Amino acid sequence: MDPALLRERELFKRRAMATPTVEKKSRPEASIKDVPKPKIRPSSAAPKLDATNYKTMAGSSQYRFGVLAKIVRHMRLRHLDGDDHPLTLDDILDETNQLDVGSSVKTWLQAEALQDNPKIEVSDDKMRFSFKPVFKLKDSKSLLKLLKQYDLKGLGGIMLEDIQESLPHCEKVLKKCEEKIMYITRPTDKKKILFYNDQLDKIRVDEEFKKLWRSIPVDSMDDAKIEEYLEKQGIRSMQDHGPKKPLVPKRKKTTQKKRQFKKPRDNEHLADVLVSYEDNTITQEGAKINPS
């Protein structure tokens, strides 16, 4: 090592030993238990919850609509079980085990919710309520009559879910009338549609014709190709598949004649009364005399 550096090091040690130092004693830290904690007072702005009126507090619309949904489901089940007589609001709340409903909710159900609901039918006195189905059906006769009317008027079929919501004991009735009802599944949403199966429309077809009909593949052909094939075979295809619109007769345009200006007529009925004067007179209709 460099002796000069060693000398400087020794000098530094001597200076450090010569300077006095005062040590600060560390004070004992206060324990955490001895420090008093600030008291937190409860804010007076926080609302107090009351268990008795929590259903009538602001923001209870979800509770109201929950009560309404339970009532509509119960009325629908009653109708499907064959109980179609109307009930009062108190009877409905009793059957749905909702007797603890507040007075404001009862007023809302009685005056607005049940009367404006499309699934609820209101009696004349507006005090009794019943379920309102899509169709007024009671038994198999009313169902077949409805399907037959749709068939005769060309209205098509009826959705199975509408029948299930309208007809009490639907499964038993449909099983009883399965020979007179035809089911077709809609390809778009796989929903079943009911049609009236008229037995008079059935035609006996020979087996040879059925074999010929089934032997022709038309799955990969559209309507345009089928029409072109039929025209080549000398068969004219049916046109205008949809219903024809009635032709509205065109109104004939009426030619308005120009009015001719008529000159004013003279007073011909006063021809015998007119008098002509030669001197200082004006001869015209009415015989105006110039006084002298």
CA atoms of 106 and 63, how far apart (whole Å): 12
- Kindly state the tokens that stand for 166: 């309208």
* Residue of 40 and 11 predicted with greater confidence: 11
Fold designation for 61-131: Arc Repressor Mutant, subunit A (1.10.10)
Does an H or E element contain 273, and which? Answer: none
Rounded Cα–Cα distance for residues 205 and 208 (Å): 9
CA separation for the pair 245, 217 (Å, rounded): 34
- Would you say residue 209 has pLDDT above 60? yes
Condensed to tens digits (0 to 9), the pLDDT of residues 46-82 reads 444 444 444 444 347 888 888 999 999 998 888 888 8
Residue 97's pLDDT is what?
87
At 175-202, the pLDDT tens digits run: 888 888 888 888 888 888 888 887 776 7
Q: Which of 102-111, 146-155, 274-283 has the lowest mean pLDDT?
A: 274-283
Output the pTM of the full model. 0.49
Tens-digit pLDDT profile for residues 80-117: 888 888 888 888 888 888 888 888 888 888 888 888 88
Strands, E assignment, the chain: 87-88, 120-122, 128-131, 158-159, 181-185, 192-196
Is 62 in a helix, a strand, or coil?
A: helix
Q: Which amino acid is at 171?
A: E
DSSP string, 145-201: HHHHHHHHHT---EEHHHHHHHSTTHHHHHHHTGGGEEEEE-TTT--EEEEE--GGG
Strand partners, 122: 129
Domain positions in the chain = 61-131, 140-201
CB contact burial 212-237 (16+ within 10 A = b; e otherwise): eeeeeeeeeeeeeeebeeeeeeeeee
CB 158 within 8 A of CB 146: yes
Phi and psi angles of residue 128, each rounded to the nearest 5 degrees, phi first: -125, 145
What local confidence, expressed as pLDDT, does residue 21 receive?
63
